Structure 1
Amino acid sequence: MAIPLDMTFSAAQEARLLQLNALDEIRKSALQHTKSVQNQRMKWHDHHIKDKSFKLSDWDLLYDSRYKDNLGNLQTRWLGPYEIVETFSNGAVRLSTIDHVQFKLLVNGHRLRLYHKHLSKDDFLQQFSTTKHVEIPAATVDGFVVTTPS
């Protein structure tokens, strides 16, 4: 905003005050816009973040971030399994190996994935024997039901 040169001193002061007031209004509107954008981003982030909760003695896999950018076809990104020894309120977790050697450092809970231990043959047979009714679905091949001879 240009000020004409033929203004009196009081008119120039008044024009300058109007410019400063306009600048304050622009600054306030920019702050309001920034706050609204931050609130939108915060809502989006909170909506899309997954809440993970871990219990003591759970088995988990740890994400290996070394291979984040260059994955080979057969390289795995997960290390472990590790057992959870201690959990903290901020989402950090203390892990131990299968040999019960504890990690010195804490691990962020977002780097973990729940690991389901495989059943041993004895455990499987015990679970199978405790179930009263087991139904095996009939297999279909090209729309025909395949039955096994008994």
Structure 2
Amino acid sequence: MSPYCLIFEKACHLLVELEHNAYWAVRKLNFHMQAAWEKRLLQLNELDKFRLQTYENAKIYKEKTKRWHNKKIMECHFELGQYVLLFNSRLKLFPGKLKSRWSRPFCITKIFFHGAVELENESSRNQFKVNA
């Protein structure tokens, strides 16, 4: 026997008893190993079906949302010389509570084939391109 076991004899026995009780409980719970394995496999299959169904539902939701959004978009046709308002999408924080995100009317000077337009400021004659 080691000197530790001689001094702390009850502690050694207590550890062995605890280890034996833990082993007994694990053995009792896992007595039907095949049934537990089949049940776990069934749970994993159900979880996989649930995950696939969730992906399918998310796909359907995205398609419906896209159709609804595309239906709400109005198609704009611009012509040369037409006056338009410019939407400032970068204006996130503004000092005035009721400050508008739309800027003064600009005149369209050129229309590009890919959808961009060239606008001209009437007062300063500055020209710049924006996405239509």
TM-score under structure 1 length normalisation: 0.53
Quote the residue 1:132 is aligned against.
none
1:94 pairs with one of 118, 128, 132:
118
Quick check: 1:108 aligned with 2:128? no
How many corresponding residue pairs?
Answer: 101
Question: Which ranges in structure 2 are unaligned for 5 or more consecutive residues?
Answer: 1-27
Letter in 2 for 1:108: N
Q: Is the 8 A contact 1:63 1:79 kept in 2?
A: no
Q: How far apart are the structure 2 equivalents of 1:41 and 1:48?
A: 11
1:44 pairs with one of 59, 62, 68:
68
Q: Is the 8 A contact 2:118 2:127 kept in 1?
A: yes
Q: Could you say what secondary structure the match of 2:107 adopts? A: strand
Letter in 1 for 2:46: A
Q: Could you say what secondary structure the match of 1:62 adopts? A: strand
User: Identity of paired residues, percent?
Assistant: 32
Q: Is the 8 A contact 2:79 2:108 kept in 1?
A: no
Map 1:26-105 → 2, pairs under 5 A: 26-64=50-88, 66=91, 70-71=97-98, 77-89=102-114, 91-98=115-122, 100-103=125-128
Higher relative contact order (CA 8 A, sep 6+): 1
Question: Which ranges in structure 1 are unaligned for 5 or more consecutive residues?
Answer: 110-150
Q: Is the 8 A contact 2:106 2:119 kept in 1?
A: no
TM-score under structure 2 length normalisation: 0.59
Q: How far apart are the structure 1 equivalents of 2:75 and 2:34?
A: 63
Q: How far apart are the structure 1 equivalents of 2:45 and 2:59?
A: 21
**Greater Rg over alpha carbons, structure:** 2
Quote the residue 2:13 is aligned against.
none
Measure how far apart 1:56 and its partner are: 3.6
